[in-house]
Structure 1
Amino acid sequence: MNDQLKKLKIALQMSDDEYDDLLQLYLDDATDFLKLRLSVSVLPDEMQAIVRGAAVKKFNRFKNEGMASYSQDGESITFSSNDFDEWQDEIDQWKKDQNGINKGMWVNPYEIRH
């Protein structure tokens, strides 16, 4: 069992392996979708928590996939249409950091040639 799957099972408070294949599928899917959002081929380590969070959300909707909301006995649950919405600020910040927007640059004025 890989490290991501172990951490996901801890988050979901699971000790058996009944859902390991499904959980791994959710982790793989979340990784692929996040790589697309970030336009990268290898997901940065700092994004692994977002992958786990999206997998938790997906598992919590297990058997309710495709529903926008669910109601039973006065209890109502509404599902987000995008598993990454709550981390959009972090995703945007990472993209800015990668584009050099938040990176400084030291310039030695003696090395500048005209």
Structure 2
Amino acid sequence: MADQLNKLKIALQIPDTEYDDLLQLYLDDATDFLKLRLSVFALPDEMQAIVRGAAVKKFNRFKNEGMASYSQDGESITFSSNDFDEWADEISQWKQDHNGTNQGMWVNPYEI
């Protein structure tokens, strides 16, 4: 998980450890939410980039949490209500690929 934190800090260009606890919290939360979306107990490695992306979004909203939009001096920013909307296609594809259909299984008729 430390590797995930280092990658997140690179993405955000944060060279020191000032925000490490907060960033780790964002990574942990994003992991938990994505596990719920995928209905899995352990997050697949191929989903780590989505976790980092969601953590970046969360960090960029730091101190603006809970707002749907922000406007000041002619500049307006609107926040997505769902951190995972950007990756909806990837999440849907993963779920489709791992839903258990089209997978053969041998059943011993004597055990039924």
- TM-score normalized by the length of structure 1: 0.87
C-alpha separation between the residues in 1 aligned to 2:25 and 2:15? 18
SS class of match (1:24) = helix
SS class of match (1:71) = strand
- Match of 1:57? 57
C-alpha separation between the residues in 2 aligned to 1:8 and 1:41? 23
- Alignment of 1:3 with 2:3, yes or no, is yes
Q: Which runs of 4+ in 1 moved over 6 A?
A: none
C-alpha separation between the residues in 2 aligned to 1:77 and 1:45? 32
TM-superposed CA distance for 1:40, in Å, is 0.3
C-alpha separation between the residues in 2 aligned to 1:80 and 1:96? 25
5+ residue gaps, structure 2 = 105-112
Number of aligned residues: 104
SS class of match (1:62) = coil
C-alpha separation between the residues in 1 aligned to 2:56 and 2:73? 24
TM-superposed CA distance for 1:99, in Å, is 1.5
1:46 is aligned with what amino acid?
E
- Match of 2:14? 14
TM-superposed CA distance for 1:43, in Å, is 0.2
TM-superposed CA distance for 1:104, in Å, is 7.6
Structure number with greater Rg is: 1
- Alignment of 1:43 with 2:49, yes or no, is no
- Match of 1:69? 69
- TM-score normalized by the length of structure 2: 0.89
C-alpha separation between the residues in 1 aligned to 2:100 and 2:36? 20
Give a deviation string over 1:56-75, Cα, whole Å, max 9, x none. Answer: 00000000000000001111
C-alpha separation between the residues in 2 aligned to 1:100 and 1:70? 43
